[in-house]
Amino acid sequence: MANSTIRAVEIDAHGTVSVVERARPAPAADEILIAPAACGVCGTDLHIMKAEFPQAVYPVVPGHELSGIVVSPGRFAAEFPIGSLVAVDPNVVCGECRFCLAGRPNLCVKLQVIGVTRQGAASELLAVPARNAFVVPDEAGPEVAAMIEPLACAVNATERAGDLRGRRILVMGAGTMGLLIAVLARHLGAGEVWVSDPAEAKHAIAYAVGIGTVVLPSALAGEHFDIVFEAAGALPAARQVMDLLHPMGIWMQIGVHAPETIVGVKPFDVFERELSIIGSNSLADKFSAAVALMPQMREAAQALVTSRFSVWDFDAAVQSMGEAGSVKTQLTFSTNS
């Protein structure tokens, strides 16, 4: 007989992380019950711990970059065989509002996000809507499958930036998102791709995934680019962007800052040089595209996973994100739940 409770990692509104017992979830008719198999830790989780992510509903079970093994499909989800590997789109949307109908479900008026406003993957079992789950070939493995969510965010960002072919691109920040965007920009035919990051320990990883020019931010003085992706989520990076744009340049903001962060922008600059400032929030409707693209990105995705921790060492996993050379930290799970 199945246990009536499961263990889960929980973050309260003060940023305290605890391992708690919760009721064992049961899948609704249109859901599947999964045993999480791998889950990325990212800047969003750090912002949640610092109470810098207003959307979070506390106490929250974190974990939104996830893959898992199907334990039990709901009555209307029989197409998911027990034991199959799935990747999960964390954005649970209504599908009916004007943003959903416009292909921007990340802006859904009823948006619920796994690991932010509803239970996330840092638990022994998790029920997710069947429409959010995508079967992934077993040979991909849980680790790569869990990288599909950040890849989908990179797909959204590059699509919002427009045609990258022949363009001179700068990606600020050699974290997971920055490097996925850089690799994807090369794949999409960008003429030149640079990456900047103040942590020199990350430069070797950027070179390892095929980026030809990797520099410190101080080396950017005098350089200009057609598109700058601010993927660092750091104030010094955001303050630097305007000076790095060619006329008609595009500032793509994908890094997450605290809500109160302010960066000065001169309206005359935007007017005179016909600049564009574009936000890219989450993955929109790009998850299925990322599933299809991942086989071509697999080697890069694997190279970006630099740290692995048991889910029950969540605190240590988050702390590891600040270590030199750390790019993607993932949580590991026992599949014997």
Which residues are marked as active site?
44, 47
Question: What are residue 22's DSSP bridge partners?
Answer: 6
Q: Are 309 and 317 in contact (CB under 8 A)?
A: yes
Q: Are 153 and 229 in contact (CB under 8 A)?
A: no
Distances (CA, A) of 172 to 44, 182, 231, 236: 18, 10, 5, 10
Give the up-direction half-sphere exposure of residue 273: CA atoms within 13 A in the CB hemisphere.
Answer: 21
Q: Are 112 and 31 in contact (CB under 8 A)?
A: no
Distances (CA, A) of 310 to 20, 38, 150, 293, 314: 15, 10, 20, 28, 7
Give, as one character, the DSSP assignment of residue 118. B
Q: Are 240 and 217 in contact (CB under 8 A)?
A: yes
Question: What are residue 215's DSSP bridge partners?
Answer: 196
Tokens of 319: 């702390």
